[in-house]
Structure 1
Amino acid sequence: MLELRNITKHYGARPLADKLSLQVAEGEIVALLGPSGSGKSTLLKIAAGLEAAEAGSVWFDSEDISRQPPERRGFALMFQDFALFPHLDVRDNVAFGLVEQRVAKAQARQRAELMLERFGLAAHTRHRVWTLSGGEQQRVALARALITAPRALLLDEPFSALDAALRLDLQTEFRERIFEAGMATVLVTHDETEARAMATRGLRLVAGHLQQLW
């Protein structure tokens, strides 16, 4: 279970988190909604270790990981710009996290090919990522996130750069893949329709506090 305990964070005098607590169970997708600037992305960064809270702590499976660097937390992040590496082909983009974990490159590539086959991307294995469509690039990004079997998945507006029809298709696919992987997942979005399509629980961040939506 991923937990934020009594997190406090301000932007100037404005509270982004005011002694805020959140629990996300294994296999659960929790959506965080709210307007731009409300602090949703900041909470993700605090959970990931990319930004420090002023007070409070981050826990995973009853262990305080607040002082662990991002690479030791075992979480995967996905952003709206996909963050793929243009100098690598599709296979090596997916294999990247495994190579960083010191898996032999040949083995990492083999596992990446199997993952790409599951995602219907086997024909694009050796293509450069910039030759793919937006939806294909997002599938590559999800494959790269899942291949390392992360303990938690943090999604920051992952579909905002895509057209409406493609967003609907990918929401269903992502939900199925995440449930299949069984990891704690936090989805940041401003779109309540998207949140309800994907999440098992929805919360709105208002003035540093979370309000239950469903």
Structure 2
Amino acid sequence: MLELRHLSKQWDHRPLLANVNLSVASGETVALLGASGSGKSTLLKIVAGLEAPEAGSVWFDGVDITTLPPEQRGFALMFQDFALFPHLNVQDNVAFGLVEQGAGRTQARINAREMLQRFGLGDHARARVWTLSGGEQQRVALARALITRPRALLLDEPFSALDAALREQLRTEFRDRIRAAGMTAILVTHDEQEARAMAQHGWGLVNGQLRRLW
């Protein structure tokens, strides 16, 4: 279980986060909604370890991880720009995290090809990422995130750059794959329809405080 305990953070002398508490169980996706600049992405960065809170703590499975660096948390992040490596082919993009964890390159590539097959992208293993469609690139990004078996998946507006029809298709696909993996997930979005399609629970972030939406 992921727990945020009494998190606080200010920006430009105003509270982005004010005593925020949140629990997300294993296998559960929680959505965070709010206007631009409301602090959603800041909260996600604190969970990821990319920013430090001014007060409060982040816990996972009963362990305080507030001071752990990002690479030691075992979390995966996905952003709206996919953050794929243009100099690597599709297979090596997906294998990258395994290699970083110490896996041999040959075995990492075998595992990457297997993951790509599951995502319907087996024929694109040797392709350059810029030759793929937006939806295919987003699937590659998810495959890269899941192959390392992360303890939690953090999604920051993952579909905002895609057209409406593709967004709807990927929402369902991502929701099903996250549930199948049984991981904790936080989705940051401004789109309530997207949030309701993917998350079991939704919270609004207003004036630094979370309000339960469903």
Runs of 5+ consecutive residues of structure 1 not aligned to the other structure: none
- Residues 26-45 of structure 1 correspond to what in structure 2 (within 5 A)? 26-45=26-45
C-alpha separation in 2, matches of 1:205 and 1:67:
24
Aligned pairs (5 A) from 1:4-19: 4-19=4-19
Deviations 1:154-206 (A, max 9, x none): 00000000000000000000000000000000000000010001100000000
Following superposition, the deviation at residue 9 of structure 1 comes to 0.2
Q: Distance in 2 between matches of 1:19 and 1:210?
A: 9
Query: CA shift at 1:117, angstroms?
Result: 0.1
Q: How does 1:119-130 map to 2 (within 5 A)?
A: 119-130=119-130
Equivalent positions of 1:124-203 (< 5 A) are 124-203=124-203
In the alignment, what sits opposite 2:210? 210
- Count residues in correspondence: 214
Per-residue deviation, residues 53-90 of structure 1 (Å, max 9, x unmatched): 00000100000001110000000000000000000000
What is residue 3 of structure 1 aligned with on the other side? Answer: 3
Dislocated runs of 4+, deviation >2 Å: none
1:91 aligns with 2:83: no
Aligned pairs for 1:101-116 (under 5 A) are 101-116=101-116
Q: Pick which of 160-169 and 6-15 moved more.
A: 6-15
TM-score normalised per structure 2:
1.00
Work out the percentage of aligned pairs sharing the same amino acid. Answer: 72
Q: TM-score, structure 1 length as denominator?
A: 1.00
Q: CA RMSD of the aligned region, Å? A: 0.4
Q: Distance in 1 between matches of 2:169 and 2:14?
A: 37
**Residues 70-85 of structure 1 aligned to structure 2 (within 5 Å):** 70-85=70-85
2:48 — aligned with what? 48
Counterparts of 1:203 and 1:81 in 2: how far apart (Å)?
24
Report the 3-state secondary structure (helix = DSSP H, G, I; strand = E; otherwise coil) of the residue aligned with 2:85.
coil
